[in-house]
Amino acid sequence: MTADLDRIWRDEWGRLLALLVGQFRRLDLAEDALADAFEAAARTWPRDGIPANPAAWLLTTARRRTLDRLRAEAMAARKEPLLVVDARTQEEAQRAMADPGDGPAALTDERLRLVFLCAHPALAPEAAAALTLRLVLGVSTADLARLFLVAEPTMAARLTRARKKLAVAGVPFALPSAQRLAERVDVVATVAYLAFTAGYAPGSGPDVVRAELAGEAIRLTRLLRTLISPYDNQHRSATAHLDALLALMLLQHSRRDARVDANGALVLLPDQDRSRWHGDEIDEALTLLGPFTEAPSPHDRRTTEVLLQALVAAEHAVASSAALTDWRRIAGLYAVLEERAPSPAVRLARAVAVAEADGPQAGLVLLEDLDESLPHSHRLPAIRAELLCRAGRGVEAEAAYQRAISLCANEAERTHLIARLAELDSGQPRGR
Amino acid sequence: MKYLVLIAYRPGGWEEASDSQRAEWMDDHNRFHATVGSNIVAGEALAGPDAATTLRHKDGQPTLTDGPFAETAEMIGGFYLLEAPDLDTVTGWCEILPKGYSLEIRPCISMDMSA
Q: Is B16 domain-assigned?
A: yes
Nearest 5°: phi and psi at A149? 60, 45
| Chain A residues near residue B3 by CB distance under 8 angstroms | 170
pLDDT band at A404 (very low <50, low <70, confident <90, very high): very high
Whether pLDDT at A104 is above 90: no
Q: A348 in helix, strand or coil? A: helix
Tens digits of residue pLDDT in A223-246: 888 888 877 666 577 888 899 999
**What's the CATH code of the domain at B87?**
3.30.70.1060
Nearest to A236 by CA among A284, A281, A298, A315: A298
| Residues of A whose CB is below 8 A from B111 | none
Residue A116's pLDDT is 94
Contact A140, A124 (CB under 8 A): no
Q: What are phi and psi of A85, to 5 degrees?
A: -130, 125
- Distance between CA A150 and CA A250 in Å, rounded? 26
A253-280 mean pLDDT: 87
> Between chains, do A122 and B87 touch, taking CB under 8 Å as contact?
yes
Domain extent at residue B41 = 2-107
- Check residue A40 and give its pLDDT: 96
pLDDT more than 70, % of chain A: 91
- How far, in Å, CA of B99 to CA of A220, rounded? 34
Please give the pLDDT value at position A102.
52
Over the stretch A48-61, which tens digit does the pLDDT of each residue have? Answer: 999 999 999 999 99
Tell me the pLDDT tens digit for each residue of A186-235. 889 988 988 888 766 554 445 555 677 888 889 999 988 888 887 766 65
H/E element, A118: helix A111-118
Q: What would the mean pLDDT of A348-369 be, rounded to a whole number?
A: 95
- pTM, 2 dp: 0.81
Contacts of B85 in chain A (CB under 8 A): 84, 86, 170, 172
Residues of A in contact with B88 (CB under 8 A): 171-172, 174, 176, 180
- Best residue in A78, A123, A168, A181 for a mutation probing chain B (most B CBs within 10 Å): A168
In a domain, B83, yes or no: yes
Average pLDDT over residues B63-88: 89
The DSSP secondary structure of A250-296, one letter per residue, reads HHHHTTGGGSB-TTS-B--GGGS-GGGS-HHHHHHHHHHHHHHHH--
Count of CB pairs separated by less than 8 Å, A with B: 33
Q: Identify whether B112 is part of a domain.
A: no
Instruction: Count Cα atoms within 13 angstroms, Cβ side, for A187.
Output: 20
pLDDT > 70? residue A335: yes
Q: How far is the alpha carbon of A305 from chain B, nearest alpha carbon, in Å?
A: 26
Q: How confident is the model at residue A432 (pLDDT cuts 50, 70, 90)?
A: very low
The mean pLDDT value of chain A amounts to 87
Chain A contact probe: residue of B86, B103, B105 with most A CBs at under 10 A: B86
- Residue A2's pLDDT is what? 78
| Residues facing residue B5 across a β-bridge | B80, B105
When pLDDT is averaged across residues A325-347 and rounded to a whole number, the result is: 93
**Is the confidence at residue B60, as pLDDT, over 60?**
yes
- What integer is the mean pLDDT of A245-256? 94
Q: How many domains does one find in chain B? A: 1
Q: Quote the CA–CA distance of A397 and A394 in Å, as a whole number.
A: 5
Mean pLDDT of the region A61-84: 90
In a domain, B113, yes or no: no
pLDDT at A415 over 90: no
In degrees and rounded to multiples of 5, residue B54 shows phi and psi of: -110, 130
